Amino acid sequence: MKPMKHKTTVEAEDGKQELLITRQFDLPLELLFTAYVEPHIVEQWMGTKVLKLESKKHGSYQFETTDPNGNVVFRANGVIHEFIPNQKITRTFEMENGPFGVQLEFLEFEKLTEDSSRLNMLTVFRSVAQRDQLLQLPFAQGINMAHNRLQDIVSKLK
Amino acid sequence: MNLRRDVFQAIADPTRRAILLLVASQTMTAGAIAANFDTARPTVSKHLQILTECELLKQEQTGREIYYHINAKKMKEVADFIEPFRKMWDDRFNNLETIMKKYKSKK
C-alpha cells in the first residue's frame, strides 16, 4: 500500500528559530488569497472572531476567541508590513498573554495551475527556544481549536 | 471526507504501541509479531495495517515474506511533537479549502 503524501508539511530544522509551513490547495490562487483577506472567511477557517483586519501595507489586525460564557480564551494581533494581492503578505503575529513573543510571518502565495495553488508560510521567532515551545503546545489545544471552529461553523449554518 | 489515518490515534492504542516497541528492536514478519500477542491474528493484522497506513511502519518484501520495520523518520516526527502542530494546520487548511470551494460555486 502506498502511503498518502501529506498536503500540509511543517519543516522545523534543529537549532533554527524558524518554521516553514507549506500547503498545496485545490483552489485557484485568487480564491486562496481571498481566504486571507475577507474577515468573515478568515473567521470561519481560523475559528476565531476577527475584530479588525486591514489588508494593506501598514494595516493591522486583531483576532479574539471567547468561550460560551463570553470569557476571552485567545487574543492575537499584528501589523502588516507588505501586502501584494495574490502574491505576498508580510506581517507580525503576537498571541497576547502568551510566552512566544512576536513572530514575523512571510506568506507567499503561488499559482500552480488554474485550479491549484500553494502557500509557503515562513515564521521567524525571536529564539530557538520560543519556536520549540510553540511546537510542544499540548495536542489538547489543537483539539479545542478544531472543536471551537466546528461549533462556530455549525452555528452559522442555522 | 478525509480518510487518512491519524498518527496520534494510531499510537493511542496500547497494542499498537507494543508492536512499535517490538519492531523497533528488529524487523519482523506479521507472523512473528502476532506470536507475541494473545490477540487473534486478524486483529494484529489490522493493527499492522493501521501503523503502515500512517507511515509508522514500512513493509519490505524479502522472498515470499513481508517484513515490517520502523519508519524512523516518522517516529521522530511524532517524538518531536511536530505532528500535532502539522495536523492543526492541516485541519485549518482543509477547512479553508472546503469553505472556498463553496464560496466559488456561489459566485
Inform me whether the pLDDT recorded for B2 exceeds 60.
no
| Regions of chain A where pLDDT drops below 70 | 1-5, 136-158
C-alpha B91/C-alpha A46 separation (Å) is 10
C-alpha B88/C-alpha B107 separation (Å) is 29
* Predicted model pTM: 0.63
Assigned C-alpha cell, A79: 501589523
Respond yes or no on whether ipTM tops 0.90. Answer: no
Q: Indicate the pLDDT class of residue B22, thresholds 50, 70 and 90.
A: confident
The beta-carbon neighbor of B99 closest among A8, A21, A45 is: A45
Name the DSSP letter for residue A77.
E
The residues near B86 (Cβ < 8 Å, ≥ 6 apart) are A6, A8, A9, A10, A21, B77
C-alpha A135/C-alpha A41 separation (Å) is 26
Cα of B46 to nearest chain A Cα, Å: 13
Contacts of A27 in chain B (CB under 8 A): 97, 100-101, 104
